[in-house]
Chain A
Amino acid sequence: MSTVLECRNVTKEFHVAGSKVVAVDDVSLEFTGGDVLAVVGESGSGKSTLARMLLRLMPVTSGTISFRGDDVTHLRGHALRNYWSEVQAVFQDPFASFNQFFPVGRLLRRSLALAEVDRDEADALIEECLGYVGLTPAQALHKYPHQLSGGQRQRIMLARALMMRPKVLLADEATSMLDATLRVNVLNVLHDLKDDLGLTVLFITHDIGQACYLADRVAVMEHGKVVERGTTDEVIFAPRGDYTKRLLADVPDLKGSLKRKV
């Protein structure tokens, strides 16, 4: 498969209280069509900053981002809006992403109205996309966000992202706030979408276990740099870098007790 999204030597610097913080440091990554790439790392490693730059929600300090061969680093106006319909995102907190005052149906229809989709078409599209995440319009549309469970909310955010028929879906800790059983459920939905729609997924997480379950390839970030990358099997089962090894060693093991080791 060909490269869909690509970033080359992307760097982001923040200036905090007179000093310079390099949040993302010379990162180059490629996203192959129909693949799930997981970016893992601990808090502050720069993974969310990288995501925000790829989404063009934040300007890069230097480097280039290209989408299907075209440079999108400095897109503006209409072209940028087109880019956003191709690259969609789902964020961590499914509650904060909703307007609490409106039922789900209104939220979804409004997104489509903004994209100038007419009403009948919109309803069909909503039904189709809710179907991808295992919901029906009757289950979701008339409900307010507080009437939905965390897993349902997150799946509706996924459906909303899919309505734009994106090529790339960026999930930034999208399953971190969910309970364990719900998490597997949402990961399975992502898995199916990848298979059925050929979606390219960028999966950002601090949880290596989730990356192991879902991803085809993994990139490990530390202090703004990608310190290791490769296929999931290479990175998780045969890590080369010290940081990756340490990260893996600290993951609590269900079947091994720390108590006995201490």
Chain B
Amino acid sequence: MSTAQAPTTVLARAVNVSAVYGGGDRDFTAVDRVSLELGEGEILGLAGESGCGKTTLGNSLAMIANPPLYVVEGTLDIDGERIDLTTLRGDGDLARQRKYRGGVVSMLPQGAMNAISPTLRVRNLVIDVMRAHDRSVTRDEALDRARDRLKMLEMPVRVLDSYPHQLSGGMKQRVITVVSTLLNPRLLIADEPTSALDVSSQRMLVEMLLAMVEQRIMSGVVFVTHDLPVLSQVSDRLAIMNAGRIVEMGPTEQLVHDAQHEYTRKLLSSVLDPTQETRSRGRNRRSHTGIGEGESL
């Protein structure tokens, strides 16, 4: 693994995170001793194909690993505090877990935009989220916070009165991103936030995330996706995962232009962007790949 130069101020450092599915002797190791570091104000892109362990790593860092997923090893240093990722499992340490989840690390799970209750207006979701973490917050305080946040990000405040079905996919995804960062987490883990969106909505979400980091609503983002072009737009550094390990990590530009690891190069060469290069690759494809190309079966 090649390591990138350390970011200037370290926000979070995860060391030796391992996660397994199962239990007993048929364990499947989904994340294998992964260590990574995130600088203050940094967006780290985590890329890889289905089944490489990127979502599992995200879940482990956000401490929402539930059986049959077990984090068997690993610590996370954030804000001068060392958190043992393995201890916060089950319901043993609920109070700490709650303080940590959403407050210190917030998770934007895959498909979050379809997980909003269809019978709740967004305002009620806001109130529920805020009060679940702090009972002393009143309804009005929660809504004030949400209104300020929406204004800050130049989004229409009227979405608070909408039901999910009244919002477009892109708008839903932006709203859910705003709601999940209302508690000012230090770190946001965003799992495939743009994958279900059209290119124009993707762009709006990416621009919003950049604005959120700039305004220090959160201090760092781990952006998990299989979509390399989106990542290359938004992230400062990229980490490429394959089979539970980070095979290559480095500044985005360096990695895109000068990938060292074979898997990274393969992934980059599979990107189809509308360029002349793709066009000619399509035309001359017989010289590049074959149907029976074994390993990508």
Instruction: Using CB atoms, name the residue of chain A closest to B199.
Output: A250
- A179–B226 touching, CB < 8 Å: yes
Which of A22-30, A84-92, A109-117, A210-218 contacts its partner? A210-218
- A257–B253 touching, CB < 8 Å: yes
Interface positions of A from 225 to 261, Cβ below 8 Å from B:
232-233, 236-237, 246-248, 250-259
With a cutoff of 8 Å between Cβ atoms, the chain A residues found around residue B282 in the complex are 187, 191, 212-214
Interface positions of B from 104 to 138, Cβ below 8 Å from A:
none
Asked whether A179 and B50 contact (CB < 8 A) given A252-B229, A254-B273, A259-B210, the answer is yes
- A252–B230 touching, CB < 8 Å: yes
With a cutoff of 8 Å between Cβ atoms, the chain B residues found around residue A49 in the complex are none
- Residue B274, interface by CB 8 Å: yes
- B169–A236 touching, CB < 8 Å: no
Instruction: Using CB atoms, name the residue of chain A closest to B49.
Output: A179
- Residue B261, interface by CB 8 Å: no
With a cutoff of 8 Å between Cβ atoms, the chain B residues found around residue A183 in the complex are 270, 272
> Interface size for chain A: under 10, 10 to 19, 20 to 34, or 35 or more residues?
35 or more
- Residue B198, interface by CB 8 Å: yes
- Residue B173, interface by CB 8 Å: no
Chain A at the B interface: SS class: helix
Asked whether A209 and B272 contact (CB < 8 A) given A133-B291, A257-B232, A262-B207, the answer is yes
With a cutoff of 8 Å between Cβ atoms, the chain A residues found around residue B252 in the complex are 257
- Residue B297, interface by CB 8 Å: yes
- A206–B270 touching, CB < 8 Å: no
- A255–B232 touching, CB < 8 Å: yes
Shortest C-beta distance, B194 to chain A (Å), equals: 9
- B229–A180 touching, CB < 8 Å: no
Shortest C-beta distance, B241 to chain A (Å), equals: 13
- Residue A207, interface by CB 8 Å: yes
> Interface size for chain B: under 10, 10 to 19, 20 to 34, or 35 or more residues?
35 or more
With a cutoff of 8 Å between Cβ atoms, the chain A residues found around residue B272 in the complex are 180, 183-184, 187, 207, 209-210, 212-213
| B203, B236, B272: most-surrounded residue (chain A CB, <10 A) | B272
- A185–B293 touching, CB < 8 Å: yes
- Residue B2, interface by CB 8 Å: no
Question: Residue-by-residue, is A33-69 near B (CB-CB < 8 Å gives 1, otherwise 0)?
Answer: 0000000001100000000000000000000000000
For the complex, give the distance between the alpha carbons of A232 and B279 in Å.
9
- Residue A192, interface by CB 8 Å: yes
Partner of B206, one of A192, A212, A232, A258: A258
| A189, A236, A250, A254: most-surrounded residue (chain B CB, <10 A) | A254
With a cutoff of 8 Å between Cβ atoms, the chain A residues found around residue B297 in the complex are 149, 151-152
With a cutoff of 8 Å between Cβ atoms, the chain A residues found around residue B267 in the complex are 180-181
Partner of A251, one of B229, B270, B279: B229
- Residue B200, interface by CB 8 Å: yes
- Residue B281, interface by CB 8 Å: yes
Partner of A185, one of B228, B256, B296: B296
With a cutoff of 8 Å between Cβ atoms, the chain B residues found around residue A80 in the complex are none
Question: Residue-by-residue, is B247-284 near A (CB-CB < 8 Å gives 1, otherwise 0)?
Answer: 00000110011000000001110111111101101100
Shortest C-beta distance, A198 to chain B (Å), equals: 17
- Residue A9, interface by CB 8 Å: no
- Residue A99, interface by CB 8 Å: no
- Residue B234, interface by CB 8 Å: yes
With a cutoff of 8 Å between Cβ atoms, the chain A residues found around residue B268 in the complex are 254
With a cutoff of 8 Å between Cβ atoms, the chain A residues found around residue B202 in the complex are 250, 252
With a cutoff of 8 Å between Cβ atoms, the chain B residues found around residue A258 in the complex are 203, 206-207, 210, 233-234
Question: Residue-by-residue, is B157-199 near A (CB-CB < 8 Å gives 1, otherwise 0)?
Answer: 0000000000001000000000000000000000000000011
Shortest C-beta distance, A183 to chain B (Å), equals: 7
Instruction: Using CB atoms, name the residue of chain A closest to B206.
Output: A258
- B273–A209 touching, CB < 8 Å: yes
- A247–B278 touching, CB < 8 Å: no
Partner of B49, one of A180, A207, A237, A253: A180
- A262–B210 touching, CB < 8 Å: yes
Partner of A253, one of B50, B229, B281, B293: B229
Instruction: Using CB atoms, name the residue of chain A closest to B52.
Output: A179
Question: Residue-by-residue, is B41-82 near A (CB-CB < 8 Å gives 1, otherwise 0)?
Answer: 001000001100000000000000000000000000000000
With a cutoff of 8 Å between Cβ atoms, the chain B residues found around residue A181 in the complex are 49, 266-267, 270, 296
- Residue A94, interface by CB 8 Å: no
- A236–B274 touching, CB < 8 Å: yes
Interface positions of A from 143 to 184, Cβ below 8 Å from B:
149-152, 179-184
- Residue B24, interface by CB 8 Å: no
Extra pairs beyond A150-B50, A212-B274, A254-B273 (8, CB < 8 Å): A42-B198, A192-B291, A206-B199, A207-B272, A251-B274, A255-B256, A259-B43, A262-B210
15 sample A-B contacts, Cβ–Cβ < 8 Å, listed by A number:
A43-B169, A134-B290, A134-B292, A179-B50, A180-B226, A181-B270, A184-B270, A232-B279, A252-B202, A254-B229, A255-B257, A256-B233, A257-B253, A259-B233, A259-B234
